[in-house]
Amino acid sequence: MTATVRAATMADLDGMVDVELRAFDDAYGGEPSPELVASVRQIWAGRLGILGEWARVLETPADGIIGLLLCCPADPARYAQVRQHFQLDDDDLLRMVFGEPATAYVLNLAVVGSERHLAGSLRLFADLRARARRFSIRRLYFHSRVIGFAGWLADEFPDADPTALPPAERLRLAQRYSKSTMPNDNTRPLDRLLRMYVDRGCQVLGVTSGWSLDRLSLGYGVLCRRDLPPQPRSAPA
Ligand SMILES: CC(C)(COP(=O)(O)OP(=O)(O)OC[C@H]1O[C@@H](n2cnc3c(N)ncnc32)[C@H](O)[C@@H]1OP(=O)(O)O)[C@@H](O)C(=O)NCCC(=O)NCCS
């Protein structure tokens, strides 16, 4: 069944929270408590409130909402608001992103169900590129999780407790992991999710502290950049 992308509204809130909880079940747990669902719902209501048409949903007539992509133009005036509603750390990389002209920042991406594995996220990205063109945005930034990091650490250092490592050492290892590449191809990251982004033309910039609930990534994210090709002169606006 064909999935389509459109702007989200407050009426989509429950559907979007459901996608968030299912897509990140490793972080929220398979059966989140009513309190957890209510707190995620409150956070997402705030996000929808500040993003307007930049909050997009992917839906099918049969399944309803099965994916989402939240993004916003990264102008400095939005910086504090976005940081607050997305619980982002105030780091140098993020401030750099919000200081760049003609830039947008992708805040959330998730697809569940059978649209996972290419079709769903490609539709959301195509919609994002079309909107970016309309708003003269030339560059996209986003954070990728590093979903293989905890497993990699356990393999490399079987006797170490990653949570007991000093923060500076953990960060150094996260940086090392994010730069690790496939054994047979040193241009492609070892991490499966990071690899997917690089395969789609994204550049890896650096590790930042991320979302503490993300146990697979041990709370780290990798800032990525995707430059959008200039629009051909003859193309319609
Ligand atoms: C990110 C996402 C929308 C990409 O969808 P997609 O383009 O259809 O790509 P896939 O789902 O095939 O994911 C790409 C790779 O990452 C892996 N992956 C993605 N999320 C994963 C997770 N939570 N746990 C383990 N592996 C995961 C996939 O298995 C796949 O690896 P493979 O190519 O070796 O099979 C989708 O994977 C998703 O919603 N993931 C969960 C939420 C998430 O992590 N969002 C991104 C935050 S940066």
CB 170 within 8 A of CB 162: yes
Q: List the structure tokens of 195.
A: 């690899």
Spatial neighbors of 43 by CB under 8 A, at least 6 apart, are 85, 87
Q: Look at ligand 1, atom 2, and give the residue with the nearest C-alpha.
A: 110
Is any ligand 1 atom within 6 A of the Cβ of residue 121?
A: yes
Answer whether residue 209 shows pLDDT above 60.
yes
Q: What is the pLDDT of residues 7-50, one digit of tens each?
A: 999 999 999 999 999 999 999 988 999 999 999 999 999 999 99
Dist CA 193 CA 208 (whole Å): 16
Answer whether residue 236 shows pLDDT above 80.
no
What fold does the segment set 1-137 form as a domain?
Aminopeptidase (3.40.630)
- Using the 8-state DSSP alphabet, how is residue 49 labeled? H
Helical packing angle, 13-23 and 34-51, nearest 10°: 120
Chain centroid, CA 135 distance in Å: 21
Please give the average per-residue pLDDT across 107-115, as a whole number.
88
Q: Where are the domains of the chain?
A: 1-137, 145-201+210-222
Q: What is the pLDDT of residues 58-85, one digit of tens each?
A: 999 999 999 999 999 998 888 888 888 8
Which of 56, 112, 124, 193 is the pocket-test mutation for ligand 1 (most atoms within 8 Å of CB)? 193
Among 1-5, 144-148, 231-235, the range scoring the smallest mean pLDDT is: 231-235
Q: Look at ligand 1, atom 1, and give the residue with the nearest C-alpha.
A: 110
Is any ligand 1 atom within 6 A of the Cβ of residue 145?
A: yes
